[in-house]
Amino acid sequence: MPWLTIAVVLPLLGAALTVALPSSLRAAPQVIALSAAALSLLALLVTVARFDPGAGMQLVEEARWIPSLDVAWRLGVDGMALALCLMSAILFLAAIAYGVGPRPLGRTAAALLLSLEGATLAFFLAEDFFLFYVAFDLTLVAMYFLIALWGGERKRYAALKFFLYTLIGSLPVLLGIIALSLSADGAPTFDMIRLADERPIAGSGLGASLVFLAFFVGFAIKTPIVPFHTWLPAAHVEAPTAGSVLLAGVLLKLGTYGLVRVNLQMLPDAFATFALPVALLGLLSVLYGALVALAQTDLKRLIAYTSVNHMGYVVIAVAAAASAGISPEARALAIDGAVLQMLAHGLVTGALFFCVGFIQTRTHTRELGALGGLMQPMPVYGSLIALAFFASLGLPGLAQFPAELQIFLGAFEAWPAVAAVAVIGIVLTAAIFLRALQRAFLGETPERWTGLPDLDRRELVALLPLLVLVVALGVYPRLALDLISSGSWLP
């Protein structure tokens, strides 16, 4: 059975089905969306059972599509792709369970969420550049409409900015893809497995550097790496809760996944030349993201900026792995850490954006100054968000700790100074979250918040699985590391 294709196609079929059904069936979109997302996750779990962590790229499924361009429906998995797909499928399930817009989930919302899921999974599983790019841009369109239709007050501005910025990023990627495909031996090809094996653009001359930079700019905007991050606050803040969860939890990983899959695997020579500048941009993201987050009083903006910080570690790790002369052990350590950090950040930030959404629907504010003492009326909520805060600041025993530890160990071999300075970021995030915890959840409860209801079942269903995984990955990171095993697929 083509399980990967099934995992990608099920959400897309679900999307088509929700649109095709008459609007009189009010509960149908919700049921279809949940089942499609659950079945898609099931197909991925079957893939885990069939997966051999030591075998690198595997389980490739291929079907004819556009033979005259050597474009095909090519899907395949390695540890990174599979781990990210699982994380995404879980986040999508949670986001669909929580919903967007009016309850139960409307037709348009269900169709958009499912298309976004199909496109995301296709992106991670794609081993064909045509499909890779199609999926990359489709995520854009679906997210544009999610923000534009159900976002906050400045939703139009935020949606437009998101679409424009990410299109600015994706088009250089397209040029890079064309350049790579034209430079393949023999006829042009979009086959990513072949291009990763043959690496037709070797060396670090002007041509290779331009292709490298084209991809880098695209993925840097998506990640986002400072100074390409300016679209992020508006989009994250204005998006509806489930939209922010998916944007930060899943879509940011498209950028770092691309950095590893394309820049590191297909253009290693050029990356080696640019490794230090890229690492420094990563370091800048770590520090800048943390400092700006420290200055925020809006809880959602605060969390949005910590994403810049956390993704910065991933960038440092990937750059360290690309640097010349790094030992294979440190390299595997760095990339394992980077992928684990992508998983951990997806789960933790997803949980955090859910938490912000829960409080916003109750209090209609996200200002730290206006909140306060929320632990009293909402003990369950308070404890869970505290857990998410601790996970996000890298407390041992929670998912981001092993990830960041591995990243520092890997990066230390390449550039001790960079790794040392990056640790400051951890201190800063600790300050950010402890301060937020104090101001919003501890202390006196203002009169107007005393009657707030605690989390209801729907909210718990969305939030708890994520936090369970955060603890599981923190206590037993091998759960993911054995799957990722980057040593088997890195060049």
Q: Which SS3 state, helix, strand or coil, does residue 76 take?
A: strand
User: Which of these segments, 67-75, 236-244, 295-303, 468-476, binds other proteins (CB under 8 A)?
Assistant: 67-75
- Which of 25-33, 132-140, 272-280, 429-437 is the region at the interface with other proteins (rule: CB under 8 A)? 132-140
- How many residues belong to the chain? 491
Under the binding rule (CB under 8 A), the answer on residue 215 touching other proteins is: no
- Helices (DSSP H) in 364-456: which residue ranges? 379-392, 400-414, 416-441
| Residue 208 touching other proteins (CB under 8 A) | no
**Which tokens hold the place of 64?**
């004819």
x/- map, 75-114, other proteins, by CB under 8 A: ----------------------------------------
450 burial (CB, 10 Å; 0-12 / 13-18 / 19+) is: exposed
Minimum distance, C-beta of residue 397 to other proteins, in the bound complex (Å): 43
Strand partners, 61: 75
Does residue 66 bind other proteins (CB under 8 A)?
yes
Q: How many CB atoms lie within 10 A of CB 344?
A: 29
- When asked if residue 216 is in the footprint of other proteins (CB under 8 A), the reply is no
> Measured from the CB atom, is 66 or 380 closer to other proteins?
66
**Segment lying near other proteins (by CB under 8 A), choices 156-164, 254-262, 352-360, 465-473:** 156-164
171 near other proteins, rule: CB under 8 A: yes
In the set 26, 50, 154, 156, which binds other proteins (CB under 8 A)? 156
Asked if 160 touches other proteins (CB under 8 A), the answer is yes
Return the SS3 of 73. Answer: strand
Return left, alpha or beta for 373; rule: phi > 0 is left, psi -120 to 50 is alpha, else beta.
left
CB of 377 to other proteins, least distance (A): 36
**Residue 322 to residue 315: CA distance in whole angstroms:** 11
Q: Is position 24 an interface residue for other proteins (rule: CB under 8 A)? A: no
User: CB-wise, 46 or 69, nearer to other proteins?
Assistant: 69
* 172 lines the binding site for other proteins (CB under 8 A): yes
CA distance 369 to 244: 22
Among 3, 73, 133, 412, binds other proteins (CB under 8 A): 133
Q: What minimum distance in Å lies between the beta carbon of 141 and other proteins?
A: 6
Single residue of 104, 188, 200, 465 touching other proteins by CB under 8 A: 188
The whole-angstrom separation of Cα 262 and Cα 14 is 30
Measured between alpha carbons, how far is residue 169 from residues 15, 174, 215, 216, 483 in Å? 27, 9, 8, 9, 30
Our finding on whether 123 is near other proteins (CB under 8 A) is no
CA distance 167 to 91: 24
Residue 216 CB, nearest approach to other proteins (Å): 15
79 vs 82: CA distance, rounded Å: 5
For residues 452 and 374, what is the distance between their CA atoms, to the nearest angstrom?
8
Q: How many residues bind other proteins (CB under 8 A)?
A: 30
| Choice from 142, 148, 201, 466 touching other proteins (CB under 8 A) | 148
Q: Is 141 in the site for other proteins (CB under 8 A)?
A: yes
Q: Which member of 175, 272, 395, 430 binds other proteins (CB under 8 A)?
A: 175
> 367: which strand partners?
298
Q: Name the nearest CA neighbour of 224 among 202, 241, 248.
A: 248
| CA 374 – CA 382 distance, rounded (Å) | 7
Among the residues of 183-267, which ranges form H helices?
192-198, 206-222, 232-238, 241-246, 252-258, 265-266
If binding is defined by CB under 8 A, does position 149 make contact with other proteins?
Answer: yes
Q: Stretches 179-187, 222-230, 245-253, 446-454: which one binds other proteins (CB under 8 A)? A: 179-187
Q: Pick from 138, 146, 266, 283: which binds other proteins (CB under 8 A)?
A: 138
Nearest to 486 by CA among 266, 329, 319: 329
405 within 8 A of 337, measured Cβ to Cβ? yes
Q: Which amino acid is at 207?
A: G
- Preceding amide of 416 cis, omega within 30: no
Residue pair 426/394 in contact (Cβ under 8 Å)? The answer is yes
Among 34, 42, 48, 134, which residue sits at the site for other proteins (rule: CB under 8 A)? 134
Q: Is 178 in the site for other proteins (CB under 8 A)?
A: yes
Q: Does 13 bind other proteins (CB under 8 A)?
A: no
Q: How far is the CB of 431 from other proteins (least distance, A)?
A: 38
User: What are the structure tokens assigned to 27, written together?
Assistant: 């509960």
25 near other proteins (CB under 8 A): no
Residue of 69, 213, 421, 452 that binds other proteins (CB under 8 A)? 69
CA angle 107, 35, 19 (to 5 degrees): 25
Does residue number 68 form part of the binding site for other proteins (CB under 8 A)? yes
Shortest reach from residue 161's CB to other proteins, in Å: 11
Q: Rule CB under 8 A: is residue 435 a binding residue for other proteins?
A: no
Instruction: Pick from 168, 272, 405, 472 the residue near other proteins by CB under 8 A.
Output: 168
Q: Is 213 in the site for other proteins (CB under 8 A)?
A: no
Residues that bind other proteins (CB under 8 A): 65-69, 130, 133-134, 137-138, 140-141, 145, 148-149, 156, 160, 163-164, 167-168, 171-172, 174-175, 178-179, 181-182, 188
